[in-house]
Structure 1
Amino acid sequence: MFKRFPPLLRASEKKLKVGIEFFLHTVMLPKPLLVLRPVVLMYSFEGRVCPRYRVWLLLK
């Protein structure tokens, strides 16, 4: 992931841990897909990811 998206190295360990846990366990995103799109770990979870995930759950 870091080779594909080097700015990921600037993110804190806590932010990466929360993001990886959210996408792998809550969203059930496959690991290879997360490795292909590591930029999603840099998105704001409170402002962007969680609200969109809740809308997606409602639509689902």
Structure 2
Amino acid sequence: MAESLSSGRGVLSALEGRGCEFCADGTLVRERYKGNRAAVCDSCGTPRAQFWAISGE
């Protein structure tokens, strides 16, 4: 569990598939946002959460 929380995978998994809070048409998907792991709206491109890589990751 610590690995999932520290890397953001658990949070991103929990957000994936939810509706976007910023537009009416979008659904959150896991992808890169400005080089970071993120949950991003597939319609408007707004990130809901993003995680910066720690050195060595």
Structure 1 length-normalised TM:
0.28
| TM-score, normalisation: structure 2 | 0.28
Higher-RCO chain (CA-CA 8 Å, sequence separation at least 6): 1
